Amino acid sequence: MTIRSAGRGAEVRSAIAVAFGAGSLGAAVGLLAASGSLLARAAGRPPAAHLAGAIVAVLGLGLGRCALRHAGRLVSHDAALRTLARSRVRLYEGLSARTPSGLHGRPYGRLLGLLARAADGVVGRERHGLMPMAAAGAAGSAAVVVEWSLLPPAGMALLGALMLGGVGAPWAAHRAAVRARRRSAAARTELSRLAVETLRGLPDLLACDAAPRRLHGLRRIDAVVTRAEGRSAWSAGLAAGVTTLATGAALFCALLLGVAAVREGRLDRAGLAVAVLIPLAAVEAVTVLSAAIGHHLRSRREAALIRAVLDAPGSVTEPAEPLPLPLPRHGGYGLCVRALRAGGTGDAGAPVSGLDLELPPGRRVALTGHGGAGRSALVAVLLRLCDYEGSVTLNGVELRDLCGTDVRRIVGLCARDAHVFTATVAENIRVARPGATDAEVAHAVERAGLGPWAAALPDGLATPLGEPTSLAEPTSFAEPTSQGGRGVPVPDGERLRIAVARALLADFPVLIVDEPELADEPGHAVLADVFAASAGRTVLLMMRRRPTPGADAVLCGMDEVIALDDQPSR
């Protein structure tokens, strides 16, 4: 099933759920009105045949109310789950089109979790807000029409009760809660900061006899938060009271106006019973409408958060008409960087300014530099994850003229912090090419130097993996292989080898290798395997340290070493 067809199915089911909900509420109103009419007619002891229609109506409305409510809940939950699936897929598609540096500088995973919860809230708004609101509005409107046909003034009173108790009261309560939340937000932040600071510095506060003063400040801020929450709760209680009073007033008006109409001969006793009981039965519709509007108003922040992120411009401007990928030259692909300026915003890291770099096909170059040298910004540019100034060409074609997806088919990253999914070793490597066979995965494992480690695992390549650990922490595979069923921990060295195996399986012609932060010998062994596996490819090694010339084994396989700190600014 496609996303579009799932969306149409959810919309149809939402409409059906609204119809069932409106029918259930309408049946509740009709049941009470029919029951009052039956009792009023039965008081005159007419023939039983004259009451058959009313009896059948009461029985039918009673059974129909239960059936419609059950069916409405089933259909509404189905529609909500379909909408949730569609909204999450659209959310993930929108986020996948934006790189981490284009998400307002927030950590990607944390923002994704926040937006996923917001998507759930938006679906809850439809399930508990829009659909009940539409159903209660339809049922309430029908009740007003029937009441108006019996007693127009009573119909106006019932309409006023619906507007005041079902719409006005929850809207006012929501506005009051928003004001209270704004007043308490700063106080909550300050309270949390002071509480943490107090606990950390408690010995010093006690030694200096400053604890009472600090506790007094905490009580004062806590009182501000308590008052704000009290105002919010008071406004919610007042709104509930207004809803009850409004429906009670509509009932009282119907009773007074109905008695006067009976005395004047404009209404019989059965009509009086119906006119009085309709406002009483409409209480359920008013309550549902009030709760639905309140839920809808509260969930607007979640919808606004999703719109703000998904409507924000990405960090990469894709070309309107991208050029095709250039053909390999001299058996491979090369990069040429001239006067590059990029980075400095979001998660792209420190800026790189005025960088020149020549990386012909098959050449191996090491870039060195301390923190803030601009390595992350350079990697983001080469992977087409952020825009840049200057010139960066791939076999003579400017990167900004190519589609980002096409660039990332040529340029791959072996990151030292590559993510290890909660899956088997083979599935973690097959992420690079989902259609790869087991033989191809095993070949990539051997070339990346993962063979001995994978062979020592309990189930080989079928062993589930879990949280990574330091290389200095040995893992005993004889013990239980997971904590809470999360899989075997992965040392940092094998974590990089997994990234290399992915790159080899994806067959990237250009590899960017992030040097692991390991001890000298293990780190050199990992990088030696990486260089051996990447023979014939263009390699760019990113080093976070300043190597010692002539004494660093890592640089033995490099054709050129460039210090980013020594690059001139332009």
Please write the tens of the pLDDT for every residue from 89-110: 777 777 666 655 555 445 555 5
Residue 523: the pLDDT is: 60
Report which secondary-structure segment, H or E, holds 512. strand 510-514
Mean pLDDT is lowest, of 43-47, 61-65, 355-359, for 43-47
361, 538 contact by CB (below 8 A): yes
486's CB contacts (< 8 A; 6+ apart) are 422, 464, 466, 467
Task: Measure CA of the first residue to CA of the last residue in the chain; give whole Å.
Answer: 54
DSSP H/E element including 352: strand 352-359
117 Cβ neighbours under 8 A, 6+ residues apart: 302
Number of residues written out for the chain: 570
Tokens representing residue 24 in the block: 């259930």
- Between 97 and 455, residue with greater pLDDT: 455
Structure-model confidence comparison of residues 566 and 74, the more confident one: 74
Give the tokens for residue 228: 């704000």
- pLDDT for the residue numbered 430: 92
Q: Which of 66-70, 122-126, 317-321 has the lowest mean pLDDT?
A: 122-126
Grouping H, G, I as helix, E, B as strand and the rest as coil, residue 368 is strand
Q: Which of 174, 387, 482 is nearest to 301 (CA)?
A: 174
Helix, strand or coil for residue 136? helix
Edge-to-edge strand list for the sheet holding 335-342: 352-359, 335-342, 389-394, 397-398
CA proximity to 103, closest of 378, 305, 388: 305
Class of domain 335-566: alpha beta
Cβ atoms within 10 Å of 470's Cβ, excluding its own: 12
How far CA 407 is from CA of 201, 318, 366, 404, 532, in Å, comes to 52, 12, 21, 5, 24
**pLDDT above 60 for 424:** yes
Average pLDDT for 38-57? 73
pLDDT for 365 beyond 80: yes
pLDDT surpassing 70 at residue 361: yes
Is 392 in a helix, a strand, or coil? strand
Residues 6 or more apart whose Cβ sits within 8 Å of residue 22: 134, 135, 136, 138, 139, 142
**Which single residue is written with the structure tokens 């990089």?**
496
Residue 255 burial (CB < 10 Å; 0-12/13-18/19+)?
middle
User: Mean of the pLDDT values across residues 527-538?
Assistant: 78
> For residues 505 and 430, is the Cβ–Cβ distance under 8 A?
yes
The number of helices, as runs of H, and strands, as runs of E, in the chain is: 17, 11
Q: Does pLDDT of 291 surpass 50?
A: yes
In which residue ranges of the chain is CATH 3.40.50.300 found? 335-566
Specify burial of residue 427 (Cβ count, 10 A radius: 0-12, 13-18, 19+).
middle
State residue 370's pLDDT score.
Answer: 62
Q: Please report, rounded to a whole number, the percentage of residues in the chain having pLDDT higher than 90.
A: 3
Query: What integer is the mean pLDDT of 155-160?
Result: 87
pLDDT of the residue at 518: 54
Over residues 453-467, the mean pLDDT reads: 85
Amino acid at 338: R
Residue 465 · residue 420 · CB < 8 Å? yes
Residue 120 has pLDDT above 50, yes or no: yes
Tell me the two tokens of residue 70.
């059950």
More confident residue, 41 or 558: 558
In this predicted structure, the answer to whether residue 197 has a pLDDT above a threshold of 50 is yes
Nearest to 501 by CA among 536, 538, 534: 534
Quick one: pLDDT band at residue 439, thresholds 50, 70, 90?
Answer: very high
CATH 1.20.1560.10 region(s) of the chain? Answer: 3-310
Nearest to 292 by CA among 179, 126, 173: 126
471, two tokens: 């290389």
3-class state of residue 344 by DSSP: coil
CB 282 within 8 A of CB 29: yes
Angle at 98 (CA atoms; ends 92, 101), nearest 5 degrees: 130
d(CA 567, CA 370): 13
Per-residue pLDDT band at 482 (split at 50, 70, 90):
very low
CB 374 within 8 A of CB 564: yes
Q: How high is the pLDDT of residue 470?
A: 42
Specify whether the CB–CB gap between 290 and 169 falls below 8 A.
yes
DSSP state string for 64-132: HHHHHHHHHHHHHHHHHHHHHHHHHHHHHHHHHTS-GGGSTT--HHHHHHHHHHHHHHHHHHIIIIIHH
DSSP 449: T
For residue 153, give both structure tokens: 């003034």
SS3 566: helix
Sheet harboring 510-514: ordered strands across?
411-414, 510-514, 538-543, 364-368, 560-563
Better-predicted residue by pLDDT, 448 or 548? 448
CA-wise closest residue to 111 among 122, 124, 95: 95
Mean pLDDT of the chain: 77
Q: What is the structure's pLDDT at 483?
A: 38
Hey, which of 9-23, 122-136, 495-509 has the most confident mean pLDDT? Answer: 495-509
Mean pLDDT of 293-316: 70
Per-residue pLDDT, 477: 39
Predicted confidence at residue 440, as pLDDT, reads 92
The predicted pLDDT at position 2 comes to 40
Q: Domain 3-310: give its CATH superfamily.
A: ABC transporter type 1, transmembrane domain (1.20.1560.10)
- Residue 263: pLDDT over 70: yes
What is the separation of C-alpha 205 from the centre of its chain, rounded to a whole number of angstroms? Answer: 42
pLDDT digits (tens, 9 = 90+) for 339-350: 888 875 544 456
Pairwise CA distance, residues 383 & 385, whole Å = 5
